[in-house]
Amino acid sequence: MATLKIVKFGDPMLRKISKPVSEINDRTQTLIDDMIETMREQDGVGLAGVQVGVLRRIFVVEVEEGKVYTFINPEILATSGEQDDPEGCLSNPGEYGMVRRPMYVTAKATGRDGKEFTVEAEGLFARAILHEYDHLEGRIYTDLQYREATEKDFRKKNK
């Protein structure tokens, strides 16, 4: 496994729409492993392919230690409720903003095992899925930010 370089805010790559993953092969598995290692090393809860320079519809999320979800070619099926919380991004280290997102999300994707799955998520897990999904669509959290937040706000909420 290797730590990957994270694409930073201001890079036009982050505004591009990611393309579908056509095949889950050894290269895809290596990318997933490297993305997980990179996310953990940076103390993140999610990481999208585009954030490491791979313009493919893939992201990983780990909001509960040791429970990593890999989303390949994800779809958002439903959302409901709302939550207002501080949000950060590994592509914009040290910066945070208050973002309103749905409280609940139902998403469908293919896992790294090639099997399709559906997940219902709430709270931080829903926020992480939607944040990473936005990356695949060329959106970043600052597009939704309504005011700045501090690292203290972020750490307090996401303990």
User: Which one is catalytic: 62, 87, 95, 132?
Assistant: 132
Q: At a CB cut-off of 8 Å and minimum separation 6, what does 43 contact? A: none
Task: For residue 132, indicate whether it is catalytic.
Answer: yes
Report how far residue 153's alpha carbon sits from residue 142's, in angstroms, rounded to the nearest whole number: 16
Q: At a CB cut-off of 8 Å and minimum separation 6, what does 46 contact? A: 39, 59, 60, 61, 62, 128, 129, 131, 132
Report how far residue 68's alpha carbon sits from residue 139's, in angstroms, rounded to the nearest whole number: 23
Closest Cα partner for 91 from 21, 141, 31? 141
3-state SS class at 109: strand
The number of beta carbons lying within 10 Å of the beta carbon of residue 43 is 8
Active-site residue set: 132
